[in-house]
Amino acid sequence: MQRLRTFLDHHCNNPALVSVIEGLMVACKDIAYKVQLGSLAGVLGSAEQDNIQGERQKKMDVIANDLIKYSLQTMQPVKGMASEEEADPVACNPDGEFLVLFDPLDGSSNIDVNVTVGTIFSILQSNPGDDPTHESTYLQHGREQIAAGYVLYGPSTLLVLSTGNGTHMFTLDPRVGEFYLQRESVKIPATTKEFAINMSNQRFWLPEMQKYVSDLLRGEEGPLGKRFNMRWIASMVAEIHRILTRGGIFMYPYDSREPNKPGKLRLMYEGNPMSMLVEQAGGKASTAYDDIMDVEPTSIHQRVSVVMGSADEVDTVVRYHAS
């Protein structure tokens, strides 16, 4: 089996980028260990404080954020970083060449019930003279990402990574502390009979999304002509991992409860990195109108509607909205 470092040395011609990815994995191994210990490590329960998003943090949100921040601050190639959990970006090395954005613990509402959570990251190129404490430095289109990935903390700990040449899966062997390549150049099937959406929000969706999901539920008798199964884990990492493994479509659409926000998920920390992974695996990622990675970023905490997964089904959702 091929170690992560060996794989990167052969597939990535940027040693500094390789060192950043490896440094991130050091933090993620620590997070995996604490998640596995759970209550034995005292990491479950609420932190009794809210993050910049106005969401009540779990203890493990804070721990994961601190572990990744510490790891990034020690890396010479990292100029600055931005976390979903914090209001402002943080400077690291003024001579660094990369910017790292991350969601330290996606799906943390699941942590107390022992359901899959994960870490999502996006790596951007920094330009000379950029101020790593200013959010405008980080406002690059998704297509400018030079690497993206997530680490899934489940029955096994998995890294899913792209540096722009396919999407690849690695499994952590806890006996030796190394990630090993398991699936190279993952491909998402173009068609699917599986969808993931939070049906409890249905009454708040746009009419086009309501019509599409209604037609899904009509099965063989409906205009889509096939029976669909629904899945919902409430962890984007887990939902996208299932899609990368066997196909499907994941949707977190616009809803009318907060009409000034175009969606719930964050463009820079979730939408863009997951879109890169999905597109590099042959899938598609859209807002239901435009490709997510073409969205003009205006804030590091900007929200976006998300429809991603099997290409043919994403195209179908876009057609419903175009009509």
Q: Binding residue per annotation — 126?
A: no
- Cα-based angle 139, 141, 147 (whole degrees, multiple of 5): 100
Q: Binding residue per annotation — 95?
A: no
- State how beta strands 194-196 and 229-231 pair: parallel
Q: Binding residue per annotation — 55?
A: no
Q: Binding residue per annotation — 109?
A: yes
Q: Binding residue per annotation — 198?
A: yes
**How far apart (Å, rounded) are the C-alpha atoms in residues 284 and 291?**
8
Q: Binding residue per annotation — 84?
A: yes
Q: Binding residue per annotation — 37?
A: no
Q: Binding residue per annotation — 200?
A: no
Q: Binding residue per annotation — 258?
A: no
Q: Binding residue per annotation — 264?
A: yes
Residues 122 and 83: beta-carbon distance below 8 Å: no
Which residues participate in the annotated binding site for substrate? Answer: 106-109, 198, 264
Which residues participate in the annotated binding site? Answer: 84, 103, 105-109, 198, 264, 270
Which residues participate in the annotated binding site for Mg(2+)? Answer: 84, 103, 105-106, 270
